Amino acid sequence: MHPGLCRPNAALLRSFCRCCLSRAQSLPGGSLSSLPRQMSRWNSLENNSPSPAQKPPRVLITGGLGQLGVGLAQILREQYGSENVILSDIKKPPPHVLSSGPFVYADVLDYKHLRELIINYRVTWLIHYSALLSAVGEANVALARKINITENCLRIFVPSTIGAFGPSSPRDPAPDLCVQRPRTIYGVSKVHGELMGEYLHHKYGLDFRCLRYPGVISVNTPPGGGTTDYAVQIFHDALSTGHYECYLRPDTRLPMMHISDCHRATIEFMQAPECQMSLRTYNIAAMSFTPEEVAEEIRKHLPHLKVTYNPDSVRQNIADSWPVRFDDTNARRDWGWAPAFQLEELVSDMLRSVRDKRTNEGLPVS
């Protein structure tokens, strides 16, 4: 890691985009993939595989050892083949990740090495998951600026976030297009990524795609410093000690999503033909709840759960600047987005998954 903002010079960036766009234009329109049976729209792997006339995409996932990358790679490998999905990160992968498919070391700040990977592996989809979460980013501003702002080409997916909005944005609901002006470095870098991607699309024809994720809830990755991470930790504490101390006020409402819906939305969006897209950056929504509401839903399964509240000023101020709901009308209309999980299904699934995880690890379950 070198100090300063990682930004390739404009001439090199234009050259990179032109040489890659000719390959990106030949990408398959794609069909829907398969997920567990809750996802009724993805009926079978057999029906959703690329036709013989289509070449499967070659996918490189940066930041692949974070909350989203390993799970997304597993789903993509089931559809397109293990050899066509390359995970990358700057951390050492655990054995089960190494054995599941290709993994390469890739520092997204090393532009030359990243370009070599794209060329050598004939990458046609680049999914950029390298980032620092909101509260962690505030404590590491210089590092967050370098990691969260990266410019590349191909059919490129760069996730954005609820954090891309600010206190002057409409909050209930927040539309796709509005004033944003976030007040965290995490959000500022995400807005920069959205605008840079749209600029490169309009200027050079880059197939740039971006989804604004709500808070993503998953059992597989421990909370990593995000403002919405209380909605993960509360399940672990409910099953371990029966008590959770929340760092947000009980009435703090934020948009949330089960990780299965997040993965499915990402793949459906990447597979959608360009002609269906009226935007390059879309909101996606599933549910919106408060700490008090998720605690009440958990108590239907674990009546003994006790929740206390000790608001942390940094994360509370961040949450108060974010939307309480997303308007995802355009995603539903343009490429058929629809979530499978609401709060009741999410709580049941998370409690079952956390209980199984703790049992398998030999940890006590309350």
Active site positions, annotated: 186
Quote the CA–CA distance of 156 and 19 in Å, as a whole number: 14
Query: Are 364 and 240 in contact, with CB atoms under 8 Å apart?
Result: yes
User: Torsion-angle region of residue 47: left (phi > 0), alpha (psi -120 to 50) or beta?
Assistant: alpha
Largest CA distance in the chain: 62
Sign of the dihedral defined by the CA atoms of residues 254, 323, 62, 138, in that order:
negative
Bridge partners of 289?
254
